[in-house]
Amino acid sequence: MNWLFAKHSSGIFVLRIEDTDVERSTGSSERSILEDLVWLGLSWDEGPEKEGRFGPYRQSERREVYQQTLRKLLKENKVYPCYCTPEELEARKEAKLEKGESAVYDGHCLHLTEDQKKKFESEGRKPAFRFHVKQMEIRFTDLVREEIVFQGENIGDFIIVRPDGMPMYNFACAVDDHHMAISHVIRGDDHISNTPRQLLLYYALDWTPPVFAHIPMILGNDRTRLSKRHGATSVAQYQESGYLPDALVNYLSLLSWSSESGEEILSVDRLVREFDFKRISKSAAVFDTEKLDWMNGIYIRQASAEKLSQIALPYFEKAGFPVASADEIVPVISALQDKAERIDQFAEKARIFYQTEPSPENQEAREILQNKEAIRLFTSFLEETDSLNDWSGDIFLKVMKNIQTHTAIKGKQLWMPIRVALTGQIHGPELPRIVGIFGLDKCRQFIQAVLENK
């Protein structure tokens, strides 16, 4: 949504790495973010590897900016040090809950004397820093949710800098949004409760806040927050599973937004052109993998076999098929793409083209080969193709027409035994495509093998 809005408005899309949580932020997680966005085609205008005038873009590299702002707020008595330990905070919270009172911070350290502060520091305590929230109304207009109101007394004095000097999320984001000239913040509606805290910081610093838009969360089919139990949750996992980037972007855009036309298959250009906050739903979006598969299948059918072959090649190699280049599998991909919904399905569906001894997939297939009419059919096929030099799907159709004329076998009895003999399967790609890829010698070999096993 951020990317679509930036492109729609001819704006700047900024990628900022919020890595102040040392335990959760790693070099590999950052690389994943960059790689995922590149794969999706969501290129950023400023950020890591594309430094602009508002860098650096990693919050871990901006600590001095936060410290300067902290000093300003301390000087103006809008922030105060808090020496409470986690255990003390939890005990007071539990006591307040038992009395039926609000669990917000009780301001225990708000009026500490200098002597009290020195005593805590002599005990080895390092302070966190809390922003003092006054009893006031915080009101803002959200581009999706419209007017939202919070009461200051329900927020409580919140920590903006940890004892180790690292900024908390709300403080770092507010400072960075100002210094990076961010005009719009578009994020999940689970962040709505963070917005009043950030606005209070803006007011305290006499800064103009950005415009906020909170879009619906993505839920699983059971209408709980999307998680690992619902399947893949990272972009990389969808890439590995064989989804095309344009299909995934198209699908994700429709989880919170819809085109005025009602159409669902929308190019990236159309998504950018038609984006409008008025079309964003307020209801939570349900991630439906079946619908994503359907949409991805449409994109697969629209793509060229050459492009798909490049993407599918690693799957063929992993399956152990003797393939030297993507060019070799173009005919196979072309034969299969009408039925595939994911790239990873191509290798399994392509197994028929690389097996050396096809065997019937089930009892029904075995019975098809044992039929007496099938024996006549196979014998006639070998006779009709014995003197052929050329072979193609069209020639195969002529051969089958001649067999029908000579044997009076027609319909399923004509086509199904040939399919099972060549592939072992009752259903699959069009037979003319299969035999064209197989070649005449392989077709004759497989059918001869069925007759010899009778």
Judged against a pLDDT cut of 70, whether residue 365 lies above it is answered with yes
Same domain, 82 and 140: yes
Domain tally, the chain: 4
Give the pLDDT confidence of 262-293 residue by residue, as tens digits.
999 999 999 999 999 999 999 898 999 999 99
Q: Domain containing 201 — which CATH number?
A: 3.40.50.620
Let me know if residue 222 belongs to a domain.
Answer: no
Measure Cα distances from 374 to 370, 398, 435, 446 in Å. Answer: 7, 18, 18, 14
Contacts of 252 (CB under 8 A, 6+ apart): none
Same domain, 109 and 178: yes
Domain boundary among 215, 248, 282: 215
Same domain, 68 and 163: yes
Per DSSP, 346 falls in state H
Q: Which residues pair with 141 in a beta bridge?
A: 147
CB atoms within 10 A of CB 413: 17
Same domain, 280 and 311: no
Same domain, 74 and 132: yes
Same domain, 103 and 198: yes
Q: How confident is the model at residue 453 (pLDDT cuts 50, 70, 90)?
A: confident
Give the residue-averaged pLDDT of 113-119.
Answer: 95
Pairing of strands 211-215, 184-188: parallel
Q: Domain containing 314 — which CATH number?
A: 1.10.8.70
Lowest mean pLDDT among 251-260, 360-369, 418-427: 360-369
Q: How confident is the model at residue 36 (pLDDT cuts 50, 70, 90)?
A: very high
Let me know if residue 187 belongs to a domain.
Answer: yes
Let me know if residue 4 belongs to a domain.
Answer: no
* Percent of the chain surpassing pLDDT 90: 84
CB atoms within 10 A of CB 158: 20
Residue 93, both tokens: 């919270």
Q: Domain containing 248 — which CATH number?
A: 1.10.1160.10
Give the pLDDT confidence of 177-216 residue by residue, as tens digits.
999 999 999 999 999 999 999 999 999 999 999 999 999 9
Same domain, 390 and 443: yes
Give the pLDDT confidence of 136-162 residue by residue, as tens digits.
999 999 999 999 999 988 999 999 999
Let me know if residue 125 belongs to a domain.
Answer: yes
* Summary mean pLDDT of the chain: 93
Same domain, 188 and 67: yes
Same domain, 84 and 207: yes
Same domain, 203 and 84: yes
Per DSSP, 225 falls in state B
pLDDT at 24: 77
Same domain, 70 and 200: yes
Let me know if residue 8 belongs to a domain.
Answer: no
Same domain, 297 and 315: no
Domain range for residue 403?
363-452
Let me know if residue 200 belongs to a domain.
Answer: yes
Are the beta carbons of 333 and 308 closer than 8 angstroms? yes
